[in-house]
Amino acid sequence: MAAAESHAFQADVGRLLDLMVHSVYSERDIFLRELVSNGADACEKLRYEALADPTLVAADPDFLVTVSLDKHARTLSVADNGIGMSAAELAQSLGTIASSGTRAFLDSLKDDAPVGKDLIGQFGIGFYSGFMVAQRIDVETRRAGAGEAHLWSSDGKGTFSIAPLALEAAPARGTRVILHLKEDASEYLESTHVERILREHSSAIAVPIAFVEALGKEPRRLTDGSALWSKPKNAVSADDYNEFYRSLCGQFDAPALTLHWRAEGRHEYTVLAFVPGSRPFDLFDSSRKGRGKLYVRHVLVAEDAEILPSWLRFVRLVVDSADLPLNVSRELIQESAVFAAIKKGVANRIVQELTKLAENDAEAYAKVWANFGAVLKEGLYEEPERRDALFKLARFASTLDLDGKRTLADYVAAMRPNQTAIYYLTGDAIKRLDASPQLEGFRARGLEVLLLPDPIDAFWVSTAVGYEGKPFKSVSQGAADIKSIPLKEGTEGQAEPPAAALATLFALMKQQLEEVASDVRPSDRLSESPACVVAADHGLDRRLERMLAEHGQLKNVSKPVLEINSKHPLIAALAAQMAQADKEALNDAIWLIFDAAQLMDGEKLADAPGFAARLTRILGKAVGAPNVS
C-alpha cells in the first residue's frame, strides 16, 4: 500500500489551528456539535445523491451518526454513514477553509484577537474545533460507491497526512472522525457528560444519533432524527424550537420570532422559520441572499436555496415541500413555477406575521426592527408592490421621537393644519441629523421631520410616491415651502434688515461663492442658524448624490444652494455694514458661513487650508492681534 503523503495546511488554517491547539476557551463542548452536524450533513448529501443512484445506499439504507467513547484508548469518535470523502476532497475540505462561518471568525481576529476568541462559539468554526480537545485527529473515510478508502491524520501543527486505508479497516461507507483526547480533556470520556452535550446541542439534527458509551457496548439511540418541522406544533416544545434554531442559524441566543406553519391548498409545504434574536455577523454581506434549506419530502435538495427576497435575508428557514419534483436537478427545482409560488407564499406569510407581532407586542417588535429594520427597508425600494405592507412595519426616528418608534400613521395623525407633505432628512446618524440647521424652521412651526439614517433610506424615499396621498419631501431640498404654516407662539424671529442692504449682501455672496454654490437665497427653514446648504429644487437628495458619487455612479456632485437666515443677527450686522465694511473681513465671513453650513451638512471642506487661513484672520481681528493674515 502506498505511503502517507504529507501536506501543509493553507496559511489561514494554520493560524486557526494554532488558536485551537492553544485554546483556553471555556466552552469547548461545541466541537461535538460541529462534528455531529458535519456527519448529519454528509448523510443528507448522500440521501440526495441516492435519488439518482439508489444503489449507493442499498446495503445500508438507514442513515445514522454514531458517537463512541473508548476510555482505554482515550478516544472519542464521531462516525457517519454519509457521503464520505475521496482523497482529493479530504485534502481540499480538511486542508483549507471551507465554511463561511470560519472565514468570518478569522476576519474578526484581524481586528482584535481577544474578541474573536470569545466568539468561537458563535461562528461555528467546524471541523477544526476538534483540536481544542484533541492532540491528534484521525479521519477514516470512504466515499459512497468508491472502491478505496483513506486516512487523514494531523496533530494540528501545520501539516496533515493522507494515506490509503485498507478497506477492512475503513467504514463501509462514510466517515469516522477519531479524536485522541488531550490530557486536559478527559471529561469527554465520561458518558454522562457526553450524552448531556449531545442532547443539549444536537437533538434537533435531522439524522438519528446513536451513542456507544464504552468499547463493546451496544449502540443506544439518543434521538430519532425525525424532522422537527414535520411534527405538529403542539408536539414541539419551546426548547426544541430553540435548539433547532441554534443548529440552523449558528446563533446561540433565542429567536425573536418562531414561525411554523403548514400551507395547504394549491401547494403543500411546511415552513419552519426564525427571526434571529440578534444580528448575524454577515447581515450586510452583499453575497448574503435570502437563503434557506429546501427539502422535498424530507430530502435536503439545497442547503442554501434562494427562498426569500434579499430584504428578508435575516430570516432563517427550512421549507419542505411535497409538490416539488425530486427526479430533476436541484437547479430545475428552483426554477420551477411551483417553487416561485412557494417563495411568494412564504414571503407573504412572514410579512403578515411580522405585522401581527408589531400590532400585538410592540416591545418585541421594536427589537426586531432595531436589528433588521435597515434590511426590511430595502424592500421598500426593491418591491414597490409591497410598499403598503412594509410601510405598516416601518418604524422611524423623528424630531418628535429620537428612539425610532414612530409609524407613518403616527406621523400623519400629527400633521399640522396646511401641512401637505411628509418631511424627512437623510444622513448618517440620528444625533447629527437632529442637530441639522435645516430642521429649525420646521421645529419652529411644530412640523415633525422623519430622521432617516440608513443608506437605503435615501433610495426608497426618493422613489416612493408617498403615504396615504402625502408625498415625501426632503427638508434639505428645494424651497422649503412652509411659510403658510404658522410659527409656534414665542418663536417669531426678529425683524429683517432693510431690503436694499440685504440685496447687496446677497449679490456679493453670489459673486464670491459662484464656484461652489449654485444659488444664494433667503430661507424659510432657518430660525437659529445663519445659513444652511440644501439641494436645488429638482436635483437629487444631497445624501443620495454623495453616495452615488462615492460608488462611482455619478461623476460630479452638484453645487448646493446656500440658504440664508435674513433675520439672524450676524446676517443683519453684515448687511448693515456693507457700505463701510473691511472688504477682506466681509469676504472671509461670507466664506466661513458657507464652510460652516457645509460642515453641518456632513460635507468635507473642499479647501481646508483656505478655511484655516480665513478663520485665523477673523480670529486675529476679533482678539485684536496685530498683522494676522
The residues binding ligand ADP (CB under 6 A) are 34, 38-39, 42, 80, 82-83, 85, 93-94, 98-99, 101-102, 126-128, 175
Residue 624 CB contacts under 8 Å (≥ 6 apart), including other chains: none
- Residue number of the CB closest to ligand ADP reads 126
User: How far apart are CB 126 and ligand ADP at their closest, in Å?
Assistant: 3
Of 42 and 178, nearer to ligand ADP (C-beta) is 42
Of 38 and 598, nearer to ligand ADP (C-beta) is 38
Which residue's entry shows cell 477519531?
178
Distance (Å) of CA 135 to CA 93, 132, 175, 181, 183: 20, 8, 19, 6, 9
Of 131 and 591, nearer to ligand ADP (C-beta) is 131
CA 16 to chain centre: 24
* CB-CB contact of 159 with 9 (8 Å): yes
Of 44 and 243, nearer to ligand ADP (C-beta) is 44
Which residue's entry shows cell 453684515?
574
User: How far apart are CB 31 and ligand ADP at their closest, in Å?
Assistant: 10
Of 299 and 338, nearer to ligand ADP (C-beta) is 299
User: How far apart are CB 432 and ligand ADP at their closest, in Å?
Assistant: 40
Of 80 and 545, nearer to ligand ADP (C-beta) is 80
User: How far apart are CB 80 and ligand ADP at their closest, in Å?
Assistant: 5
> What is the DSSP pairing of strand 5-8 with strand 159-165?
antiparallel
Of 101 and 116, nearer to ligand ADP (C-beta) is 101
User: How far apart are CB 248 and ligand ADP at their closest, in Å?
Assistant: 13
* CB-CB contact of 111 with 202 (8 Å): no
Which residue's entry shows cell 444659488?
519
* CB-CB contact of 43 with 135 (8 Å): no
Residue by residue, DSSP assigns 125-138 as: -GGGGGGGTEEEEE
User: How far apart are CB 383 and ligand ADP at their closest, in Å?
Assistant: 32
Q: Which residues pair with 262 in a beta bridge?
A: 270
Of 27 and 403, nearer to ligand ADP (C-beta) is 27
Whole-number Å distance between alpha carbons of 109 and 119: 10
Backbone torsion region of residue 196, taken as left when φ is above 0, otherwise alpha when ψ lies between -120 and 50, otherwise beta: alpha
Long-range residue pairs from 550-557, CB within 8 A, at least 24 positions apart, any chain: none
User: Cα(first)–Cα(last) distance of the chain, in Å?
Assistant: 88
Which residue's entry shows cell 482515550?
74
- Report which of 303, 272, 247 is spatially closest to residue 35, judged by C-alpha positions: 247
Of 127 and 229, nearer to ligand ADP (C-beta) is 127
Using alpha carbons only, how large is the chain's radius of gyration in Å? 33
Which residue's entry shows cell 432563517?
316
User: How far apart are CB 69 and ligand ADP at their closest, in Å?
Assistant: 18
User: How far apart are CB 355 and ligand ADP at their closest, in Å?
Assistant: 35
User: How far apart are CB 75 and ligand ADP at their closest, in Å?
Assistant: 16
Of 44 and 545, nearer to ligand ADP (C-beta) is 44
Whole-number Å distance between alpha carbons of 579 and 573: 12
Of 131 and 460, nearer to ligand ADP (C-beta) is 131
User: How far apart are CB 304 and ligand ADP at their closest, in Å?
Assistant: 12
User: How far apart are CB 374 and ligand ADP at their closest, in Å?
Assistant: 27
Whole-number Å distance between alpha carbons of 551 and 548: 5
- Report which of 98, 102, 127 is spatially closest to residue 116, judged by C-alpha positions: 102
* DSSP three-state, residue 223: strand
